[in-house]
Structure 1
């Protein structure tokens, strides 16, 4: 069975993200969309990233246009997230989160959560320092509501 550390994504800059580099880190993986009503959560995710990064928290934003709420190009998405929400954590090129051509990372995370399809943008996955899923959060869950779980994962 695959481990989180077996996956790779491509940053908007074209640089490869090898998840193996996150061994020993706590990770939030989130599917994003710039035009989604939940997009302001990017600010909360950035706040958590800044607050806990030095303790080992990483955040990876993975845009998807599967729900028709993303901008036309990866470049527009990147600029929008930086300008409007101050995002400094890595953002990948867009992927599909459901269906036959879904991104393998999301296949893995959904299997780990035993919770099926991604129903909407801003589904968040918290992964512990050993690459195991701690919890899957619904799109409506604000990042600050994840903080106690993040702190616990960082201390574990």
Structure 2
């Protein structure tokens, strides 16, 4: 074990945080080590819990957008590769004024209308000064979303990030190729 991990484990044991959680946090890229509220839920999740050295696809989503139908393809991508460890995380956002009027409505669109089972987070900003810390990092490393349904592929080691625009379909695309190459 390296010195940083040992120090983290000692500090977290003092705070009575389980060793497994400490190891996950210690191995997780800093830009993912943030807690977000799940869509239409009181539960929160630290993205490091999902990461666990797996490839990630992060998407900025909206409920009333010409690209909303991509939820279907994103769910198909998730179902196709989740057993191999790929995680998808949708960040609901109203930065482009295309969001549902409430989290309840957004949840209905995602979960009921499109059968989304991947992690969806409550609305947050994805660009500008108010962007959440994950998108602040993604925007600095690649480019900020110009519209809804931009996709960011993050390698399992968290060091390589590729941006795919709104027009990139989830399946049979450069995005799926990146996912396959990472596995």
Are 2:57 and 1:28 equivalent residues in the alignment?
A: yes
TM-score, normalisation: structure 2: 0.78
Q: Secondary structure at the residue paired with 1:59?
A: strand
Q: CA deviation at 1:138?
A: 0.6
Give the length in aligned residue pairs.
Answer: 151
Q: In the alignment, which residue of structure 2 is the partner of 1:56?
A: 85
Checking the alignment, whether the CA contact within 8 Å between 2:61 and 2:93 is kept in structure 1 is: yes
Candidates 91, 110, 133, aligned match of 1:104: 133
Q: Which has the higher contact order (CA 8 A, sep 6+)?
A: 1
Output the CA distance in 2 between the equivalents of 1:103 and 1:4. Answer: 10
Q: In the alignment, which residue of structure 1 is the partner of 2:43?
A: 15
Output the CA distance in 2 between the equivalents of 1:131 and 1:4. Answer: 9
Checking the alignment, whether the CA contact within 8 Å between 1:30 and 1:125 is kept in structure 2 is: yes
Q: Which has the larger radius of gyration?
A: 2
Deviation track 1:28-80 (CA, whole Å, cap 9, x = no partner) reads 10000011100111111100101110100110111111111111111110111
Equivalent positions of 1:1-156 (< 5 A) are 3-12=30-39, 13-21=41-49, 22-113=51-142, 115=143, 117-144=144-171, 145=173, 146-154=175-183
Checking the alignment, whether the CA contact within 8 Å between 2:65 and 2:148 is kept in structure 1 is: yes
Which ranges in structure 1 are unaligned for 5 or more consecutive residues? none
RMSD: 1.3
TM-score, normalisation: structure 1: 0.91
Q: Secondary structure at the residue paired with 1:143?
A: coil
